[in-house]
Amino acid sequence: MNTETVETPENPVVVERDGHVAVVVLNRPEAINAINAAMKIALPQVLQALDDDPDVRVVVMAGAGPRGFCAGADIKGFTEPETSLRARKRLLQAGFTSALDRFSKPTIAALHGHCLGGGMEIALACDLRVAAQDTLLALPEINLGLMPGAGGTQRLPRLVGLGRALELMLLGDRIGAEEALRIGIVNRVVATSADVRAEAVALAQRIAQKPPAAAAAVKEATRVGSTLDLATGMRLEKDLFALLLATEDKLEAATAFKEKRAPRFTGR
């Protein structure tokens, strides 16, 4: 893999390339990749650059170090009092998880160890999640007199249903990878944390072999459609389907099928 470092004082985010797959690594292992101000700034910048790069087709989100994907917000950064109005404005402007919502290409979270609070919210904002057996997931904000503030209350119910999501958020309990798989938070579980990034990258490579425009359309139709009424969602699906009919990759798929060879998709 080729590695690129984002130019920030702490280098809290590192990008590694593997063909058409980019691995975005949360890079504060000494703090279990806790989210600080520098990471909140760097992550949306990184994602925007990767979204604009036509050579990148899939992104994997991972955490550096053996202790976990991300332990959530860096509480050491809570050093100054803040008015409610100022806090609300800051939170509305914060885009470190919303950047994943805006990202047009498929995203996969590779989880291990601690995946808590804001870390779990980053994982929930990805399209797919692969977890190691040692992964512990929780939205424990209620134990601090708070609530999830980076999308947890909105994304978790869409994955597991209202009752299950409320139980997890009202109790703040941690659950393991197998339970997360059973209730639908994660898509796959692998044996060890040493395997999880490789499994996520292998899954990403498979998706990267598909026509990029079709993959982006599937993501848009599904994600946006889930917020719409059925009739409007069906209209969106038809609009995107019609756009794909005019792509070169659609013609290449048909030609490759006739010629009994593997297709060569270009993203056009």
Looking at residue 9, its pLDDT comes to 45
Bridge partners, 2 (sequence order): 17
Phi-psi label, residue 70: left if phi above 0, alpha if psi -120 to 50, beta otherwise: beta
What angle (nearest 5°) sits at the alpha carbon of residue 79, between those of residues 73 and 82? 90
What are residue 55's phi and psi, to 5 degrees?
-80, -20
Quote the pLDDT of residue 83: 65
- The span from the CA of 248 to the CA of 259, in Å, is 16
- pLDDT, residue 121, reads 97
Structure tokens at 268: 């056009």
pLDDT value, residue 15: 97
User: 105-154 pLDDT, tens per residue?
Assistant: 999 999 999 999 999 999 999 999 999 999 999 999 999 999 999 999 99
pLDDT given for residue 7 in this prediction = 40
* pLDDT at position 91: 56
User: Per the residue annotation, which of 82, 141, 220, 248 is the catalytic one?
Assistant: 141
In the residue annotation, 141 being an active-site residue is answered as: yes
- C-alpha–C-alpha distance, residues 73 and 59, integer Å: 22
The model's pTM is 0.90
The number of angstroms, rounded, from the C-alpha of 131 to the middle of its chain's C-alpha atoms is 13
The full set of domains in the chain, from first to last, is: 2-208 (3.90.226.10), 212-259 (1.10.12)
Residue of 121, 167, 237, 248 with catalytic role: 121
Reply yes or no on whether 199 is catalytic.
Answer: no
Type of residue at 196: V
Tokens 């359309």 sit at which residue? 217
10-residue block means of pLDDT along the chain (268 residues)? 50 95 97 93 95 97 97 69 61 73 96 97 98 98 93 96 97 97 98 95 97 97 95 97 95 92 89
Distances 130 to 168, 186, 202, 237, 265 between C-alpha atoms, Å: 20, 6, 11, 27, 26
